[in-house]
């Protein structure tokens, strides 16, 4: 027996959800902010994933095409440029993910 093992208690059985709730994982997934539950992926999921990948590739190509110009800048200017360009592609992804989930680009009211 390992030292200190007597103080440890082993938990038996599968992990459980909190005792105050008897929801299953699927029930929790269905209780999203959008109020709908889909167990099967729709065509929007496949199209959305393809568009996200296309967006990332196009954005990376844009940033790479500007690398010669930006490479001549002082490092103190390159760092914020690459920080902004590295995060800016996320902005159009949010409505795209919302469309994948709900079918609408606008947030629910």
pTM greater than the 0.85 cutoff: no
- pLDDT value at residue 76: 97
Res 95 pLDDT > 70: yes
Residue 4 has pLDDT above 70, yes or no: no
Answer yes or no: is pLDDT of 59 > 90: yes
Q: What pLDDT score was predicted for residue 107?
A: 75
Q: How far is the C-alpha of 38 from the C-alpha of 53, rounded, in Å?
A: 23
pLDDT in the model for residue 64: 95
Domain positions in the chain: 41-102
**Contact (CB, 8 A) for 98 and 107:** yes
CA-based nearest residue to 39, from 50, 25, 49:
25
Residue 62 φ then ψ, to 5°: -60, -50
The two tokens of residue 2 are: 């390992």
Assess whether pLDDT exceeds 70 at residue 37. no
């Amino acid at each position: 027996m390992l030292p200190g093992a007597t103080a440890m208690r082993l938990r038996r059985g599968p992990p459980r959800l909190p005792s105050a709730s008897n929801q299953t994982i699927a029930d929790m997934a269905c209780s999203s902010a959008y109020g709908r539950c889909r167990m099967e992926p729709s065509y929007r999921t496949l199209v959305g994933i393809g568009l996200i990948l296309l967006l990332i590739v196009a954005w990376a190509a844009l940033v790479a095409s500007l690398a010669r110009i930006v490479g001549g800048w002082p490092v103190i200017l390159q760092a914020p440029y690459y920080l902004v360009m590295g995060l800016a592609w996320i902005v159009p992804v949010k409505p795209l993910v919302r469309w994948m989930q709900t079918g609408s680009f606008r947030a629910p009211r």
